[in-house]
Amino acid sequence: MKLHRAKTRHERRQHHQHRQAVIQLRLARIEPVSPRFYVCRKENGMTVEQKKCIEELRVDGLSFGQIGIRLGISKNTIKSYFRRFEERKKRCKRCGRDLVQIPKRKPRTFCSTQCRKAWWKDHREEICHREVKRLACAYCGRTFDVPVNSGRKYCGHPCYILDRFGVSYLTDEISKNTSPSQ
């Protein structure tokens, strides 16, 4: 078993200088995209300036690790910030505009009705179509489409009322809605 001796002050200083030199080499390998990241450097927590700087450096194409080295922040801190940042900034599926989400409501997917309609018109294959079957109304005999697992027997509410209760005052309305040619 090998025993380790305590490092002297000189050895500790050399080790510290070596670590600082390695960090400087890493910084030298990454070319500065813009000088604005020097303004963002702060020791205690993430400031508003740092957050803006992180977003700008990410847009410029730097990885989380490169941003972390430049700003002196952990790579994982930057990853978690971006995870939360992306959750806040949802964009319209069609045009890419920022969406304003209302708290305690269903999250919005589109910025407007026009975008929603246009997107679904272009992506018809993503619509969930239910299987339908064709039935004949139990009262009037007219055919209508219903979902497969539906328990419907009638084409509409008036036919249901007439078949169940035999109310004569609805016959005029039924004759208007159903003609023999249909």
**Which CATH number is 60's domain given?**
1.10.10
How does pLDDT run across 62-82, given as a tens digit for each residue?
A: 888 888 888 888 888 888 887
Asked whether residue 159 is domain-assigned, the answer is yes
Please provide the average confidence, as pLDDT, over all residues in the chain: 76
Q: pLDDT confidence of 10, banded at 50, 70, 90?
A: confident
Domain-embedded: residue 6: no
What is the β-pairing status of strands 132-136 and 143-147? antiparallel
Range of the domain at 96: 91-129
Count of domains for the chain: 3
Residue 81 zone, left/alpha/beta (φ > 0; ψ -120 to 50; rest): alpha
Selection from 74, 112, 76 nearest residue 94 by Cα? 112
Amino acid at 66: Q
61 within some domain: yes
pTM of this structure: 0.32
Task: Work out the widest C-alpha separation in the chain, in whole angstroms.
Answer: 108
Q: Is residue 2 part of a domain?
A: no
Q: What pLDDT score was predicted for residue 124?
A: 79
Residues 156 and 170 in one domain: yes
Residues 72 and 108 in one domain: no
